[in-house]
Structure 1
Amino acid sequence: MTTLFHISDLHFGAEDRAALRWFMQCVADVRPTAVVCTGDLTMRGTTREFAAAEEWLRGLDVPVHVEPGNHDMPYYWEMVERLRRPFDRYRAMRARVQGDVPGGRVRLVSLPTVTPAQWRLNWSKGHVRRSALAGALADLARADHAQLRLVACHHPLIHARRDGAGSTTRGWHAVVQLAQAGADVVLSGHVHDPFDRMVQVGGRSIRMVGAGTLSERLRKTPPGFNRLDWSLNEGLRVTPQVMG
C-alpha cells in the first residue's frame, strides 16, 4: 500500500500554526510514503517566507514533493525581480527539500501552471505553457502501465465542481492531452476547498482532486488535506482529512 498526503496553500506569512501542528502530528502518526504539496507555500514569495516553509517541510521527516503556486513568486512591488527571476527563490528551496517519491508503482509528474505575467488582468489564474505540458507528457510516457500516474499542479485545470473549461488558460487542452497519455489523477490546490470529480475524456476517465488549505485564508471548509491510499489490487482511495 502506498499512502500519500496531499496538501496545498500553506501560505507561510499567513499560515495557520495550529493547522500546521495538526498536520505534522498526522504525518508522525501515519508515516505516509510521501507528502505532495501543490503550491502556494508562501504568501508573497519572500526569502523569509520560503525559509519558514523549508524549515517546516524538513521537520515532516518524510519525502516531500513541491509544486510552485502563483504566490511563490516575488510580489508585484518587486516587479523587476518577478519578471527577470520569478522562480529563483522557489527553486532554491525546492532543491533543498525535494525528494523522490518512493513506492515503486506510483509515478508523480509535475505540471507547472504559474507564470509571472499574462495577457489578462488577473495574473493569479493558471496558465499551461506548451513547454510545461510537453514535459509532463514526456514524463508520463516513461511510466510503467501498472503504475498509478499522478500529475501535480497548482491550479485546477477545469472547474473544480461543475462542467466547463475553468479559468486556467489551455487547461481543458491539458486535460485532454494528459488523459490520452494515460494520466489517472490530477492533484491541485489554489481554491482552498477540497474537491474530487471524475471527468470523461475520449473514452478515458481522469480524476481531478483538489486539496484545501493549511493557512488562515479559509473559504468554505476548515483547514485540511487529502489522504491518498493506493494499491494495485484495491485501486485508489481519496479521503479528505479536516481539522476538528
Structure 2
Amino acid sequence: MHGKVASMYHGPLKLFQLSDIHFGLEDTRALAWAKACIAREKPDAVVITGDLTMRARYSEFDAASAWIKALGVPVTVEVGNHDIPYFNLYQRFFAPYKRFRAIEQMVESELDLPGLAIVPLRTTTRAQYQRFPWSNGWVTDKALAECLAAIDAHPEGTRILVAAHHPLTERRERDGKLLTINGTRTMEALAGRKVIGVLSGHIHDPFDLTAETPAGPLRMIGAGTLSRRIRSTPPSFNEIVIDGGGLHVTARNLEHVATQDMQIRDVPENALPPRDPDEPVSPVGTVPRADPPVN
C-alpha cells in the first residue's frame, strides 16, 4: 500500500487506540462500551497495540478475533508478549503467530489514511538471550529496518504514526534496568524521520510523553487496558485526533476521569502488580495488590 497516502489535507482524522484486552481476563463491560463507541462514532481506524489474549490459548484467540472482526472499521493489530504461545514451545519457536490465523490480514498491517500512514514496529520476540523471562521488548535490527523502509517508502510530507506493543524506553532512569532492548537507537531513528508519535501498550496505564533524542523529540503515546488486569487507572482506550499538524489524545474511560488524571508521568518496568513504591502511578492511584486469578 506504499505510496497510496494522499498528502493533501482532508480534515481531521479520528483513531481509537486499544491495548491489552487480554481475552481470558477481559473486562466484558469495558469491551461492550468500547465496541459501542466504535459503532456509534466510526473512527477512521482502530489501532490495537498488542496483548489480545492472556495465555495465547486457542479459545482466547477465537474470542478476540470474533470481537475484532465485528468492529466494522479498518483495524491493525500488533503482537504482544502475551500473544505468543506459553505452553507449546514448538509453536512458540516455529509458528508463533499461527493462532492469529482468523485475523492474519490485520496483524502488523500498515494502514494508509488521507495524509497519514500507521506503520507497524515489532517489539515482541520468541526468545531473548539477554534475559529471562521474555516479556519485555526488543527491537531487532530486522524489525527496525522493516519499519524504517516502510516509512521511507511514503512521499515526503506524509504524517507517520508507528504502532508497537512495548514502550521504547530502553533503560529505567532510577536504576538503569534494561527495559526495551535497542529502544534508544530506535527512538533516535524514528525522531529523525519526523514520526508524529509512537503508539504502544504493555503498561496498562495511559501516558503521553516526549522523549528527547539526538535527532529531536519523539512523542510516545501509551494506551491503558480493557481487561481486569488494571494498574492505577480504570479500563480505558485512547481517542487520537489528528488535525493538520496537531495531535490530541484523550484517555477515554468508563469512570469519566479526566485525561490528565489518567496518564502516568513515566514508563514503569512492566505491568505486574503491585508496583514498587517509587514506580510511576497515575493521579488516580488505585493500584491493586494482585491480578485476578487466571484459569
Q: Same fold (TM over 0.5)?
A: yes
| C-alpha deviation, 1:205, in angstroms | 1.9
Q: Which runs of 5+ in 2 are unaligned?
A: 1-11, 256-295
**Matching residue of 1:185:** 197
Question: Contact (CA 8 Å) 1:195, 1:210: kept in 2 or not?
Answer: yes
- Deviation of 1:4 (Å): 0.3
1:178 CA drift (Å): 1.3
Cα distance change of structure 1 residues 131 and 102 upon mapping to structure 2, 3 Å threshold: closer
8 Å Cα contact 2:69/2:103 also seen in 1: no
Q: Distance in 2 between matches of 1:62 and 1:100?
A: 14
Which of 72, 78, 87 is matched with 2:88 structurally? 78
Aligned 1:148-187 pairs, distance under 5 A = 148-158=159-169, 167-187=179-199
Residue equivalent to 2:208 = 196
Per-residue CA deviations over 1:5-40 (Å, capped at 9, x if unaligned) read 001001111111000001011112211001000000
SS in 2 for 1:190: strand
Q: Which amino acid aligns with 1:84?
A: F
Distance 1:94 1:40 in 2: 14
Secondary structure in structure 2 of the residue aligned to 1:149:
strand
Residues 162/105 of structure 1: CA separation in 2 closer, same or farther (3 Å cut):
farther
Check conservation: 2:170, 2:178, Cα contact below 8 A: yes
Q: Distance in 1 between matches of 2:48 and 2:154?
A: 21
Write the deviation string for residues 122-161 of structure 1: whole angstroms up to 9, x where unpaired. Answer: 2101111110000000011122332221010000011799
* Cα distance between partner residues in 1 of 2:78 and 2:40: 25
What amino acid maps onto 1:11 in structure 2? H
Q: Scaled by the length of structure 2, what TM-score is found?
A: 0.77
Aligned to 1:132: 143
CA contact (8 A) 1:161 1:195 kept: no
Q: Which residue pairs with 1:207 in the alignment? A: 219
CA distance in 2, matches of 1:16, 1:191: 16
Partner of 1:20: 31
Q: What is the distance in 1 between the residues matched to 2:40 and 2:231?
A: 27
Match of 1:88 among 66, 90, 98: 98
Q: Which of 220, 243, 258 is the aligned partner of 1:231?
A: 243
- Counterpart residue identity of residue 123, structure 2: T
Structure number with greater CO (CA < 8 Å, separation at least 6) is 1
Give the equivalent residue in structure 1 for 2:64: 53
Alignment CA distance shift 1:115-1:71 (3 Å) = same
Pair member with larger Rg: 2
Distance (whole Å) between structure 1 residues aligned to residue 189 and residue 215 of structure 2: 13
Gaps of 5+ in 1: none
How big is each residue's C-alpha offset from its partner over 1:95-144, in whole Å with a ceiling of 9 and x where there is no partner?
Answer: 25567635311111111101111121221011111100000000111223
**TM-score, structure 1 as length reference:** 0.92
Alignment CA distance shift 1:9-1:221 (3 Å): same
How many residues align? The count is 241
Distance, in Å, in 2 between the alignment partners of 1:171 and 1:100 is 21
Q: Structure 1 counterpart of 2:103, which letter?
A: R
RMSD between superposed Cα atoms in Å: 2.0
Shift of 1:204: 2.0
Q: CA deviation at 1:166?
A: 5.4
Partner of 2:156 in structure 1? 145
**SS state of the match for residue 81, structure 2?**
coil
Distance 1:155 1:100 in 2: 18
Q: Whole-Å Cα distance in 1 between the matches of residues 205 and 243 of structure 2? A: 26
Correspondence for 1:64 among 46, 51, 75 = 75
